[in-house]
């Protein structure tokens, strides 16, 4: 018996989808509805704008009406990741309200919770053919936005399921001497030692020199090394193992903006994480966050989608923005939200509207036979760049030259991981 799972990237939904009636988008959503299950990353907070806007948001404050959940369910989605850099855009009250909206609808969601264990915990979707398990986490967030664990005496703190990348800067001996001299000259090293002496800090590990929040060590070349935080990774693997025991198909979602040299190349720690969770039993890894496509790797017969980009891109349609947004984007308080975005992008000359990569994506449909992956059909999708602001951002199946360009680009990005695709007209396929 074959089971199908459709995967999508970031859903930034602000307007009604009309997925069953709009002829532009309906064929794509019919394809999604035709699958046994479908996943999307919930990039907006369905909080009905309840809660206090956070000072440090994920960029824009992505609040949304709670009916976006109903629209996404109507569109065919049953699995939702909630671990994003926007999870706490409206502080704790906003997150708790959004979680309540998801729970009262009985939806399968993972990645954020009222305390750390809840955020780590897997969620499950049972269909007539298979049970899907979902573990979701995020690496892109401001410290303090991650969920905190409970103790025997104290409740935890709401937030996202964290995968913190431990960061080290390797420099030459001569470069290290410069860093140390700067720390001494600026008084930073004296202040650090004072904090250690008063019990508010600890000595750095051997070979590490801390400088203004960055860890330096001497290496053979100058490079930035990032690895998954060992404690976070172990906690996530604990739930991946549980998910594999309690479901047929274990899905791991990661929201990660971090990149290597180019934005469409995943950072090394993301690759290490993906391999580790597959080793622990995950059947696939779906990434999102940078809002553009990255390649696909087949690791031990299991797919890793390093980023599926934007799926619904209505970020320009946010209804309300706090004062900090106006300050951050250096615009006048009197501008309405759409005018703010227009000025921020210099009338589409910079930012998302200026780069087609943010408006092209794919929808992979994974085929499982007896819970083993046998094939992936890859459907190219366009978000309608060039349309009016209130219309673009709606996903539709790409055709003709657009389809060929999207599939060709995804194939090239996947070649880096030794993944070969067969392109046939308006779709591509990987076969095991």
Q: Tell me the pLDDT band of 110, cut-offs 50, 70 and 90.
A: very high
Average pLDDT over residues 21-39: 98
Rounded to whole angstroms, how far apart are CA atoms 139 and 142?
9
What is the reported pLDDT for 208?
Answer: 97
Asked if 308 and 7 count as a contact pair (C-beta separation under 8 A), the reply is yes
Sequence-distant (6+) residues with CB within 8 A of 279 are 300
Contact 129, 1 (CB under 8 A): yes
The single-letter DSSP state of residue 358 is G
Please name the residue that has the structure tokens 């990987």. Answer: 430
Token pair in block for residue 234 = 């172990």
Cα–Cα dist 90/278, whole Å:
33
Flag whether 340 is in a domain.
no
Q: How far from the centroid of its chain's Cα atoms is residue 243's Cα?
A: 20
Of 309, 307, 298, 306, nearest to 375 (Cα)? 298
210 by DSSP, 3-state: which? Answer: strand
Structure tokens at 235: 């906690």
Predicted pLDDT of residue 300: 97
Q: Give tens-digit pLDDT for 221-271.
A: 999 999 999 999 999 999 999 999 999 999 999 999 999 999 999 999 999
138, 161 Cβ separation under 8 angstroms: yes
Average pLDDT over residues 14-42: 98
Specify whether 79 is located in the same domain as 113: yes
**Residue-level pLDDT at 371:** 87
pLDDT at 425: 85
Rounded to an integer, the average pLDDT of 339-357 is 90
Q: Are residues 92 and 197 in the same domain?
A: no
Q: Which domain holds residue 362?
A: 2-151+230-320+355-431
Residue 409 pLDDT level (bands cut at 50, 70, 90): very high
Beta bridge partners of 424: 427
Residue 337 lies in a domain: no
Give yes or no: residues 19 and 58 share one domain: yes
The residues pairing with 373 across neighbouring beta strands, listed in sequence order, are 368
Report the alpha-carbon distance of residue 194 to residue 174 in Å, rounded.
26
| One domain, residues 34 and 146 | yes
Last residue of a domain, one of 218, 240, 275: 218
What is the separation, in whole angstroms, between the first and last Cα of the chain? 17
411 with 273, same domain?
Answer: yes
Q: State the pLDDT at residue 58.
A: 76
> Distance (Å, rounded) from C-alpha 109 to C-alpha 237?
18
Residues 235 and 378 in one domain: yes
Count of domains forming the chain:
2
- Quickly state the pLDDT bin for 1 (edges 50, 70, 90): confident
Question: For the chain, what percent of residues have pLDDT higher than 90?
Answer: 89
Spell out a b/e string for 46-84, using b for 16 or more CB atoms within 10 Å of the CB, else e: bbbbbbebbeebbebbbbbbbebbebbeebbbbbbbbbb
Tokens at residue 180, please? 């140390």
Closest CA to 335 of 355, 320, 357: 320
Mark out the alpha helices in 266-399 (DSSP H runs).
268-279, 323-328, 337-344
DSSP per residue, 58-118:
SSS--B--THHHHHHHHTT--EEE--STTTTTTHHHHHHHHHHHHHHTT-EEESEESSHHH
Residues 48 and 179 both lie in one domain: no
DSSP letter at 19 equals T
CB 138 within 8 A of CB 159: no
The tens digit of pLDDT for each residue in 44-103 reads 999 999 999 998 887 889 999 999 999 999 999 999 999 999 999 999 999 999 999 999
Q: What is the DSSP string of 288-310?
A: ESSSSB--EEEETTEEEES-B-E
Both 202 and 244 in one domain: the answer is no
What is the rounded CA–CA span in Å between residue 208 and residue 247?
Answer: 43
User: Which residue, of 218, 245, 276, is where some domain finishes?
Assistant: 218
Is residue 41 one of the residues assigned to a domain? Answer: yes
Please tell me whether residues 257 and 210 are part of one structural domain.
no
Orientation angle between helical segments 188-197 and 173-185, nearest 10 degrees: 80
Round the average pLDDT of the chain to a whole number and report it.
Answer: 95
Q: What is the DSSP letter of 45?
A: B
Nearest to 14 by CA among 316, 398, 334, 343: 316
237 and 213 housed in the same domain: no
Of residues 102, 132, 162, 135, the one with CA closest to residue 253: 135
Q: Which CATH number do you get for residue 394?
A: 3.60.21.10
User: 193 and 139, same structural domain?
Assistant: no
Q: Would you state the pLDDT for residue 55?
A: 84
392 three-state secondary structure? coil
């Amino acid at each position: 018996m074959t089971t199908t799972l459709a995967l999508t990237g970031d859903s930034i939904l602000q307007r009604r989808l009309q997925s069953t009636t709009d002829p532009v988008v309906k064929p794509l959503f019919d394809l999604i509805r035709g699958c046994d299950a479908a996943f999307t990353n919930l990039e907006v907070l369905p909080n009905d704008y309840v809660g206090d806007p956070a000072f440090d948001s994920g960029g824009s404050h992505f609040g949304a009406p709670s009916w976006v959940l109903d629209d996404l369910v109507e569109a065919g989605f049953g699995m939702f990741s909630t671990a994003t850099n926007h999870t706490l855009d409206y502080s704790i009250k906003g997150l708790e309200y959004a979680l309540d909206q998801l729970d009262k609808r009985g939806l399968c969601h993972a990645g954020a919770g009222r305390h750390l264990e809840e955020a780590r915990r897997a969620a499950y979707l049972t269909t007539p053919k298979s049970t899907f398990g979902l573990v979701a986490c995020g690496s892109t967030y401001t410290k303090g936005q991650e969920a905190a664990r409970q103790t025997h005496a104290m409740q935890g703190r709401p937030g996202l399921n964290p995968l913190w990348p431990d960061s080290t800067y390797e420099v030459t001996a001569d470069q290290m001497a410069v860093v140390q001299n700067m720390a001494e000259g600026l008084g930073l090293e004296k202040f650090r030692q004072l904090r250690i002496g008063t019990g508010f800090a600890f000595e750095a590990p051997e070979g590490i020199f801390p400088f203004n929040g960055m860890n330096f060590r001497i290496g053979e070349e100058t490079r930035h090394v990032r690895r998954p935080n060992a404690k976070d990774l172990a906690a996530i693997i604990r739930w991946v193992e549980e998910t594999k025991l309690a479901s047929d198909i274990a899905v791991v979602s990661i929201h990660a903006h971090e990149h290597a040299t180019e934005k469409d190349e995943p950072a090394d720690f993301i690759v290490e994480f993906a391999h580790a969770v597959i080793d622990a039993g995950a059947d696939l890894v779906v990434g999102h966050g940078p809002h553009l496509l990255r390649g696909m790797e087949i690791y031990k017969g299991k797919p890793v989608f390093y980023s599926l980009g934007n799926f619904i891109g209505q970020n320009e349609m946010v209804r309300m923005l706090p004062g900090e947004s106006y300050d951050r984007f250096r615009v006048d308080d009197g501008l309405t939200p759409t005018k703010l975005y227009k000025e921020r992008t210099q009338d589409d000359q910079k930012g998302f509207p200026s780069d087609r990569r943010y408006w092209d994506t794919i929808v992979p449909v994974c085929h499982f036979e007896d819970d083993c992956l046998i094939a992936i059909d890859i459907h190219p999708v366009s978000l309608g760049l060039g349309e009016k602001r209130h219309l673009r951002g709606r996903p539709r199946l790409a055709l003709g030259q657009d389809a060929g360009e999207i599939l060709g680009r995804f194939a090239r990005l996947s070649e880096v991981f030794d993944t070969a695709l067969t392109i046939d007209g308006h779709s591509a396929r990987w076969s095991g």
